[in-house]
Amino acid sequence: MTIPFQRTAATVRGAGAEAAALAHHLVRYPTGIPPERRPRPCPDRPVPPTAPPRHDPVLLLHGFVDNRAVFGPLRRELHRHGWTHLHALNHSPLTRDVRAAAVLLARHVEWAVQAHGGRPVALVGHSLGGLIARYYVQRLGGHELVPEVVTLATPHEGTTAALLPNPFPITRQLRPGSDLLAELRLPAPRCTSRFTTVRAELDEVVLPRRGARLDHPDLAVTDVAVPGTGHVGLPAHPRAVAAVRTALETWAAGPLTERHAC
């Protein structure tokens, strides 16, 4: 009887933590509505030389009907540990198609590569954002510019929550067995991007929860399960933040010739 009681207590604590995370996110949400401001170079003003950044640039992609505010805690933590080129993207809540969103993502990645001296770019996506990132590298050739993808609570195998009635066409692609997910199961022998999937053990959106795992014979995947948190709270959870840092640092520690081979 002790083990079931402990599991119940952990679930209750996790539900409370998820409710608190949702409340905090709702407070932060308005700050993420405006798109991120990107500095524009001034041709009349010389740019002083600076030391090269310690880490390659990172693009952060939020999830369904969310915005870049969800990455506030993660962004602060990465910046504190030396990541200076962090860019959080906002995609429209009216996005109808993962494929179209991935095409737009390609433009952002190309901008980041050019803006940061040709350095490769890492992608970190929460929920739907992770699926957009995966489609880009796996189906649109994005692996040539993006060596590392980290997904947080992403429905790689779909979610039965998308079967509920709603007015958003994109949720059809998130249903188990959708044509999009079938396409992502196709062989991808040329995709060299490495994936880290970070899952919330109390995820209330990705159902069944094993759907946040990425299981593909052609893809290199490291899977991390985070206990005591749900879908909304995962991007800010200390263990999830540590998992993102570990994934990015593992790539950064690779041999320079290997890292820039693409």
- With beta carbons less than 8 A apart as the criterion, state whether 68 and 118 touch: no
116 alpha-carbon distance from chain centroid: 20
Residues of the chain above pLDDT 90, percent? 68
- With beta carbons less than 8 A apart as the criterion, state whether 163 and 211 touch: no
Give the pLDDT confidence score for residue 41 in this predicted structure.
Answer: 44
Asked if residue 75 has pLDDT above 80, the reply is yes
58 alpha-carbon distance from chain centroid: 10
3-state secondary structure of 200: strand
pLDDT in tens, 226-238: 999 999 999 999 9
Exposed, middle or buried, 203 (CB in 10 Å: 0-12/13-18/19+)? Answer: buried
Strand-pair category, 86-89 with 58-61: parallel
Cα 224 from Cα 213, distance rounded (Å): 9
